Structure formats: structure tokens, C-alpha cells
């Protein structure tokens, strides 16, 4: 080998090493944050409002906020879904590059608080229950606290479950919109056949329960026992839960319930192959798109169960502030969170997306929307009694056990009580493991 | 100067392979808090013990699903690709186009085509059910069925992977001795006898390579399970690699996920060694 060739090779190796080092250095410097500078304060908001009216409304609200607060700039960081959002938030925290604000489910907030990576509301708002707190619906207020009794979250996009239906099909069969789950089953069975199914559900996956599992949870609550006690203890094999799963199995055996994936209820309803769909109130925009004016889309709150009491399952997320933000960013983030939860912002947000306003003060500002969607005041009323996910870190994993029980009973034909006993045993193990962390 | 020449490769290998593997082993001994590593607790081999005692799903059932998938891919994939290669080995414009058609799926991203297959298997509007309905056959539920979910993922994976192994076999067929086949035919061997006693023995090194490559890629397969079935229903498609992802990156039980990664590494290494030894023995005996 010549001296020149050797020199070139050594130089090549050095260049490669320098490139790697430069890349590594570039990675580590890309996460620097503005906040302590004397210019505008920049905050970041990690969320999943990436589609349709959710994105356009959030962008408009954020622009309005920036116009009113020229010293604050909000960077919207979009994620495609809640699973990815959780992974990205976790990765950002681990890399010491967390956003200022992020959407969270209750169990995530519990996990973050246990790891001391989010701030309690009192730290940036000066009080555990700042002025705006009293304007929220009672169920929303309850949903902001963690087991230590302190408020760690602030509301943003809350929702409850709604029954969407093909009103024309109901009318043509001489059926009434169901007010009880018994009547729901009767209607679903009456229309099923010739390619039409009463309802199509997706139990979801162990990582991400979907409409079928929400229906099971709603049914169990309507029978008197929600799937989790307020202290996070699983109650998956309660008589109410067994009754709920048996109800679903009976519907399937009668040909009135079909299992699918990718929002099967919405797809079937839109294709005029389904009578009902159970989905979040926030799904209104997408249901309407699927129906495309082919028939009148009915909307109603959930029917009542054996207790006769109205029940529902609260969905949607809250906001938290992550540690690592400067004082200026914390203050700016808090201003933005208050803005998003204000009556005028919530009226606009709810009117465009279908999410429910978290404050009653928004309703007078939504008269046009309510005139077109008379279900809204009743749905909003459900925020007072809807059951939210208990704020414990193990709950998300334990909900996956419900999905498995549904799949076992609806596909494998496992007896509902047996499937739920197994789910309860596994959920208790999840609770034990989560509590030990 | 020898060490200097190997230094770049060694550096890259250390940073991206050896270092992370050693770190994974280290993490597996902790109750690891990814959000705040200061709150991680050393628990020794407890993650490995809970791995063996887990029930939802059990480690053994996940290992069985990995084996089921890998077995189907190795046996089915090898047989199919060998058959396709034998059919396509002759030249000609039509067979050339057929080779492209067989290889094309392998060039597509798994994440995109597996989503297309999710819709093929859709129980409401899918092509598979439409065809079955047209000929009045029952629809098995595909990805929603505990029995059919794994075969559905295998069908997709074979469609995607066979093109690559066909190319390997075509390469092998191109270099084997034509004289031996000709001699066999002169001696009166029929097509099957010629394949069994003459052609395939010469393809043993290629077959061994295909088996090893397919075993490793099948044991590590993840994307199609993530996109098509998410490990369900009732854990029917939860393989070791999917379980690892779920525990480490969905439920953030990072220490437990790291323990699974170490076990999967050991299983893959053991399989590879076993196949190499068996292959060597077969080569020596032939």
C-alpha cells in the first residue's frame, strides 16, 4: 500500500468520525428552548388535533391567542393518534426536551406525576383551584385531580358517548329512538338481516380500547357498577359487568352485532348497512361526513340500563404543564390553557369539532349549533355524571384486559363470566404491579 | 496499523450494536423509569422471573406464536420460493415479467402494504370476504378470529417475503451443474427424481442460507403484527417481538421489555447456531 493511499484512508476515517460527531452534536443541540430570552416567549403544545375541523379550529384559536398576546408564540406539535402522543411525550421527557404543554389521559398524568415530570396547577396558577375552576361542570372539575387530591390537569377536549343512528331507517320500520338498552337491543334485532346489522363495534386492542369496549363500559355502568372503582380497583367480573358482556354476546348471536375494525360502526352507518353507532360526541363531524346527507343522522345520549339512572363514559383529555419549562414559559402556558378553557374558546371549539364545552358559560354562545344539534345540552349534562378513567397508572393496561375478555366472548364463544373472571385476575395483577412502581 | 483500519467499523459496531445490547442487559436488571431514570430501582433478575410467571399473555404462549409464525415462514416460504424458482428459472419475456411480479411485493414497504391487506381482510367490506360470499363459502373473520388471525398475517408475510428468497434460489439454480441433471435424465430419472436426487442436493447451501435468513427475520418480525392485528385477538398474534414493543413502548415497563429483548436475542442466536451446526453436518455428510 502506498503512503498516499494510507494517508487518504486515515483522512477518510477521520472525516467519517468527524461526521458522526457532528451529527451527534447536532442532535443534542436541536432541542434547545427559547424561554429565558428577552424576546417573545415560545411555548410548545403537543397534541393530536391533526385532522379536519379539529386542526383548523385549534390553529384559529391559537392565532387569536397570539394576536391577543403578541409576546407569546405557540408552536403546535402534531401527533397522529393518542398512542403515538403518549410515546412521543415519554420520549421527549426522557430526552429532557418535553413540550411546555401536552394532552394527557388521566392514567398518563398519574404516571407523569409519580415520576415528577409534570407540575401541579398550583405551581403555575398560584392556586390549586384558580378562578376559572368554578366555571367547569362538576364532572370536569373532578377529572382534574390525581389521587393526592391536588389538581394537576386543566380541561381541554372533553366528550361523552353518543348513539348515532339512521333516523330514516328507524322511522321506516316504525321504531322509536331507544331510551333504554332493552329497547336498543329490540331495535337492533328488528332491522338486522339482508346485509344490515344493528350495530358494528370494534373492541380495539390491548393498547387502545375502542368503541366496543366503551360500549361494554357504558353498559356495566348503566347496570350499576362501573368497570373501575373510584380508587382504581378493577371490577371487571361484577354482576353488572357480566350482564353487560352477556348483552353483547346475545346481540351477536342474534345477528344484530358485528365485529370490525377501523371505525366499523361509522363505516356501516355511512354505507347504510348499520342502524346505530356508539361513538364519542366528538365523532359528530366524521359521522356526518360518512353519512354525506344520504339520510337523517340521529343523535341521542346513551340509553339507561337496569338501574334506570342515566350513565355515560367520559372521554377526551386534559392538559398538563411539564417540568423543564422556564418560569416565563410556565406563565405563558398557563395563559394559553386558560384561554383554551374559556367560554368563548370552548364555544368555538365545541361548535366546530363536536367536543363538549367544559363550561356552561359556553352554551349561550352556541345557540346556532344547538338549534341544529338539539342533543347537545343533554350531552353536556352527561358531563356531570359520566364516569371518567380513574387516574391511576395501571388503569390503561387493565383496560386492555377488558378488550381481551370481549374478544374471547364475542369470537371464541367463551362464557362471559369466565372471560371476565380471567380479565379481573389479570387486571388485579396489573394493579398490584402498578402500585408497586 | 491493523487496529486503525478496523477502528471505524469497530466504533460504529460498538456505538450501534454492542453498546445498546449491553445497555439493554443493564436496563433489564432494573425496574426502569424511562421518564425519570433517577427513580429506577435495581431488582436483579426479577424481570426475568415475572416474565416466566406472566399470564396476560404468558411468555410461553408468545414464544409459541413466534415459533408458529417462524415455522410457517421457514417451511412455507422455503417451499414456495423453491417452487417459484423452479418454475421461473427458464428465460423468456413472459417469465421475466413473472419474476418481476413475484419480486415486486418485496420492494414495497411493509407498513404500507400490510395496511392494504387489513382492508382485504376487512369483515365488512373486504375483498377476501366478498370473494368467499360470491362462492357461498363461510367467512372466517380473518383478523378478528383467534383461529385465523395468525394465518392471515402469515399469508401477507409470505406474499411480501417470497420474492426475495425466490431470487436467492434462482441464483442457486443458475450456478448448479447442468451435466448432472442431464446424466440423470439419460439414466431415466423422471422430473421429480431429478429434482429430489440431483437438483435440490446441489441447492443445500442456498437452502440453508434461506432458512437462516427467514428464521431471523421471522423471529424479529414486528411491523405486520403492529399494523394488521396489534397482537390480538386474545393475544393470538402476540409474538415475542410484539410483546417486547407493547411492554416497553406502550405500557413503558422498560425493564421488563429489556428482559424480553435479551431473551429474544438469546433465542435468535441459539436458533442460528443450531441451524449452522445442522447445515455443516448435512454439508459434510453429502
Domains of chain A plus CATH, in order, are 41-158+316-380 (3.40.190.10), 161-313+394-435 (3.40.190.10)
How many angstroms separate the CA atoms of A89 and A111, rounded?
12
CA distance A408 to chain B (A): 6
In angstroms, the first-to-last Cα distance of chain A is 60
Looking at per-residue confidence, does B274 or A91 come out higher? A91
CA closest to A403 among chain B residues: B234
- Is residue B12 included in any domain, yes or no? no
**Interface check B32 vs A, CB under 8 A:** no
- Is residue B143 included in any domain, yes or no? yes
- Could you report the per-residue pLDDT of B156-186, keeping only the tens digit for each? 999 999 999 999 999 999 999 889 989 999 9
Q: Which residues of B touch A21 (CB under 8 A)?
A: none
- Is residue B261 included in any domain, yes or no? yes
Say whether A111 and B34 touch across the interface (CB within 8 A): no
For residue B129, pLDDT beyond 70 = yes
CA distance B264 to chain A (A): 21
Say whether B8 and A273 touch across the interface (CB within 8 A): no
pLDDT of B286 reads: 59
- Is residue B242 included in any domain, yes or no? yes
pLDDT band at B95 (very low <50, low <70, confident <90, very high): confident
**Mutate which of A5, A23, A207, A396 to disrupt the B interface (most B C-beta within 10 Å)?**
A207
- Is residue B13 included in any domain, yes or no? no
pLDDT of A30 reads: 35
Query: Measured between CB atoms, which of B35, B230, B253 is closest to A205?
Result: B230
What is the distance of C-alpha A421 from the center of its chain? 27
Which residues 6+ apart lie within 8 Å of A316 measured at CB? Answer: A156, A157, A158, A159, A280, A282, A355, A356
CA distance A40 to chain B (A): 29
CA distance A338 to chain B (A): 27
- Is residue B228 included in any domain, yes or no? yes
Pairs of CB atoms within 8 A across A/B: 109
- Could you report the per-residue pLDDT of B244-270, keeping only the tens digit for each? 999 888 888 899 999 999 998 898 888
Transcribe B64-110 into DSSP letters: HHHHHHHHHHHHHHHHHHHHHHHHH-S-SHHHHHHHHHHHHHHHS-H
Say whether A267 and B125 touch across the interface (CB within 8 A): yes
Q: Which residues of B touch A9 (CB under 8 A)?
A: 5
Say whether B146 and A271 touch across the interface (CB within 8 A): no
| Planar angle of CA B215, B216, B221, nearest 5 degrees | 100
CATH code at position B70: 1.10.3720.10
Q: Which residues of B touch A203 (CB under 8 A)?
A: 233
Q: Are strands B41-42 and B30-31 parallel, antiparallel or unpaired?
A: antiparallel
Q: Say which range, A281-285, A408-412, B140-144, B235-239, has the weakest mean pLDDT.
A: A281-285
**Interface check B135 vs A, CB under 8 A:** no
pLDDT of A114 reads: 92
Transcribe A169-207 into DSSP letters: HHHHTT-PPPSBHHHHHHHHHHH-BTTBEEEEE--B-SS
- Is residue B86 included in any domain, yes or no? yes
ipTM of predicted assembly, 2 dp:
0.79
Say whether B124 and A397 touch across the interface (CB within 8 A): no
How many angstroms separate the CA atoms of B106 and B71, rounded?
20
pLDDT of A364 reads: 94
- Could you report the per-residue pLDDT of A200-246, keeping only the tens digit for each? 999 999 988 999 999 999 999 999 999 999 999 999 999 999 999 99
**Interface check B285 vs A, CB under 8 A:** no
pLDDT of A92 reads: 95
Cell numbers for A23: 451529527
Query: Measured between CB atoms, which of B39, B141, B246 is closest to A207?
Result: B246
Query: Measured between CB atoms, which of A115, A426, A430 is closest to B35?
Result: A115
Residue B107, phi-psi category: left (phi > 0), alpha (psi -120 to 50), beta (remainder)? alpha
Say whether B250 and A115 touch across the interface (CB within 8 A): no
Q: Which residues of B touch A267 (CB under 8 A)?
A: 124-125
For residue A334, give the H/E element and its range: helix A327-341
Listing from the earlier edge strand, what are the strands of the sheet with A197-201?
A: A257-259, A197-201, A274-280, A161-166, A297-301
Structural domains in chain B (count): 1
Q: Which residues of A touch B144 (CB under 8 A)?
A: 259-261, 411
CA closest to A16 among chain B residues: B8
- Could you report the per-residue pLDDT of B49-70, keeping only the tens digit for each? 988 888 778 889 999 999 999 9
- Is residue B8 included in any domain, yes or no? no
**Mutate which of B35, B53, B259 to disrupt the A interface (most A C-beta within 10 Å)?**
B35
CA distance A412 to chain B (A): 7
Average pLDDT value over all residues in chain B: 90
Q: What domain range includes position B134?
A: 57-285
Average pLDDT over residues B115-121: 94
Query: Measured between CB atoms, which of A10, A115, A426 is closest to B36?
Result: A115
Transcribe chain B into DSSP letters: -HHHHHHHHHHHHIIIIIHHHHHHHHHTTEE--SS-GGG-EE-TTHHHHHHHH--TT-HHHHHHHHHHHHHHHHHHHHHHHHHHHHHH-S-SHHHHHHHHHHHHHHHS-HHHHHHHHHHHT-TTT-HHHHHHHHTT-----GGG-TTTHHHHHHHHHHHHHHHHHHHHHHHHHHHS-HHHHHHHHHTT--HHHHIIIIIHHHTHHHHHHHHHHHHHHHHT--HHHHHHTTT-STTTT--HHHHHHIIIIIS--HHHHHHHHHHHHHHHHHHHHHHHHHHHHHHHH-
What backbone phi and psi angles, to 5 degrees, belong to A367? -60, -40
pLDDT < 70: residue spans in chain A: 1-38
CA distance B233 to chain A (A): 6
Say whether B55 and A425 touch across the interface (CB within 8 A): yes
CA distance B164 to chain A (A): 31
Q: Would you tell me how many other CB atoms lie within 10 Å of the CB of residue A354?
A: 27
Looking at per-residue confidence, does A377 or B120 come out higher? B120
- Could you report the per-residue pLDDT of A304-338, keeping only the tens digit for each? 998 999 999 999 999 999 998 999 999 999 999 99
Amino acid at each position: 500500500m502506498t503512503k498516499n493511499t494510507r494517508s487518504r484512508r486515515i483522512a477518510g476515517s477521520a472525516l467519517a468520525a468527524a461526521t458522526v460527531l457532528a451529527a451527534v452534536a447536532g442532535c443534542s443541540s436541536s432541542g434547545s428552548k427559547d424561554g429565558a430570552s428577552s424576546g417573545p416567549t415560545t411555548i410548545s403544545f403537543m397534541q393530536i388535533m391533526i385532522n379536519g375541523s379539529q386542526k383548523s379550529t385549534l390553529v384559529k384559536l391559537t392565532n387569536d391567542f397570539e394576536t391577543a398576546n403578541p409576546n407569546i408564540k405557540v408552536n403546535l406539535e402534531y401527533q397522529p393518534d393518542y398512542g403515538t402522543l403518549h410515546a412521543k411525550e415519554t420520549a421527549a421527557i426522557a430526552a429532557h426536551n418535553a413540550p411546555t404543554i401536552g394532552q394527557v389521559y388521566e392514567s398518563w398524568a398519574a404516571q407523569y406525576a409519580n415520576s415528577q415530570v409534570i407540575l401541579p396547577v398550583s405551581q403555575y396558577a398560584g392556586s390549586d383551584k384558580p378562578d376559572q375552576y368554578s366555571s367547569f361542570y362538576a364532572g370536569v372539575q373532578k377529572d382534574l385531580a390525581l389521587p393526592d387530591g391536588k389538581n394537576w390537569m386543566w380541561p381541554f377536549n372533553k366528550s361523552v358517548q353518543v348513539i348515532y343512528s339512521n333516523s330514516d331507517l328507524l322511522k321506516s320500520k316504525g321504531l322509536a329512538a331507544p331510551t333504554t338498552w332493552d329497547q336498543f337491543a329490540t331495535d337492533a334485532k328488528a332491522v338486522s338481516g339482508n346485509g344490515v346489522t344493528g350495530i358494528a363495534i370494534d373492541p380495539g386492542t390491548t393498547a387502545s380500547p375502542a368503541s366496543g369496549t366503551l360500549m361494554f363500559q357504558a353498559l356495566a355502568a348503566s347496570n350499576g357498577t362501573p368497570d373501575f372503582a373510584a380508587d382504581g380497583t378493577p371490577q371487571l367480573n361484577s354482576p353488572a359487568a357480566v350482564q353487560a358482556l352477556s348483552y353483547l354476546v346475545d346481540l351477536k348471536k342474534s345477528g344484530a352485532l358485528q365485529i370490525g375494525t377501523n371505525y366499523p360502526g361509522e363505516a356501516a352507518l355511512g354505507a347504510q348497512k348499520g342502524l346505530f353507532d356508539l361513538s364519542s360526541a366528538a365523532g359528530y363531524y366524521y359521522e356526518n361526513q360518512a353519512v354525506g346527507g344520504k339520510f337523517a343522522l340521529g343523535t341521542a345520549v346513551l340509553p339507561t340500563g337496569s338501574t334506570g339512572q342515566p350513565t355515560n363514559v367520559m372521554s377526551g383529555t386534559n392538559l398538563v404543564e411539564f417540568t423543564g419549562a422556564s418560569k416565563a414559559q410556565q406563565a405563558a402556558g398557563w395563559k394559553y390553557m386558560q384561554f383554551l378553557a374559556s367560554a368563548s374558546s370552548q364555544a368555538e371549539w365545541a361548535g366546530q369539532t363536536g367536543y363538549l364545552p367544559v363550561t356552561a358559560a359556553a352554551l349561550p354562545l352556541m345557540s346556532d349549533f344547538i338549534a341544529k344539534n338539539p342533543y347537545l345540552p343533554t350531552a353536556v349534562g352527561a358531563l356531570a355524571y359520566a364516569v371518567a378513567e380513574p387516574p391511576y397508572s395501571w388503569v390503561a393496561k387493565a383496560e386492555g384486559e377488558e378488550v381481551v375478555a370481549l374478544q374471547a366472548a364475542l369470537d371464541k364463544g367463551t362464557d362471559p363470566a369466565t372471560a371476565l373472571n380471567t380479565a379481573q385476575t389479570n387486571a388485579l395483577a396489573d394493579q398490584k404491579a402498578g402500585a408497586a412502581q | 496499523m491493523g487496529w486503525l483500519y478496523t477502528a471505524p467499523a469497530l466504533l460504529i459496531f460498538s456505538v450501534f450494536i454492542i453498546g445498546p445490547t449491553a445497555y439493554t442487559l443493564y436496563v433489564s436488571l432494573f425496574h426502569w423509569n424511562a421518564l425519570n431514570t433517577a427513580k429506577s430501582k435495581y431488582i436483579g433478575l426479577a424481570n426475568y422471573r415475572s416474565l416466566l410467571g406472566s399470564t396476560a399473555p404468558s411468555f410461553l404462549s408468545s414464544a409459541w406464536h413466534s415459533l408458529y409464525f417462524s415455522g410457517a415462514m421457514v417451511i412455507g416460504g422455503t417451499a414456495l420460493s423453491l417452487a417459484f424458482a423452479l418454475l421461473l428459472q427458464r428465460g423468456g419475456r413472459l417469465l421475466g415479467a413473472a419474476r418481476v411480479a413475484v419480486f415486486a411485493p418485496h420492494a414495497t414497504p411493509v407498513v404500507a402494504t400490510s395496511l392494504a391487506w387489513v382492508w382485504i381482510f376487512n369483515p365488512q367490506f373486504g375483498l377476501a370476504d366478498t370473494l368467499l360470499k360470491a362462492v357461498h363459502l363461510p367467512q372466517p373473520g380473518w383478523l378478528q378470529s383467534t383461529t385465523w388471525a395468525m394465518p392471515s398475517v402469515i399469508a401477507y408475510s409470505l406474499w411480501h417475503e417470497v420474492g426475495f428468497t425466490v431470487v436467492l434460489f434462482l441464483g442457486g439454480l443458475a450456478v448448479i451443474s447442468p451435466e448432472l441433471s442431464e446424466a440423470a435424465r439419460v439414466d431415466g430419472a423422471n422430473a421429480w427424481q431429478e429434482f429430489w436426487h440431483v437438483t435440490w442436493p446441489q441447492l443445500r447451501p442456498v437452502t440453508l442460507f434461506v432458512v437462516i435468513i427467514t428464521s431471523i427475520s421471522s423471529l424479529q418480525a414486528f411491523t405486520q403484527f403492529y399494523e394488521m392485528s396489534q397482537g390480538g385477538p386474545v393475544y393470538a398474534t402476540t409474538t415475542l417481538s410484539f410483546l417486547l414493543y407493547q411492554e416497553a413502548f406502550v405500557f413503558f415497563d422498560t425493564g421488563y421489555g429489556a428482559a424480553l429483548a435479551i431473551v429474544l436475542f438469546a433465542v435468535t442466536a441459539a436458533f442460528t447456531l443450531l441451524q449452522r451446526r445442522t447445515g455443516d453436518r448435512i454439508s459434510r455428510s453429502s
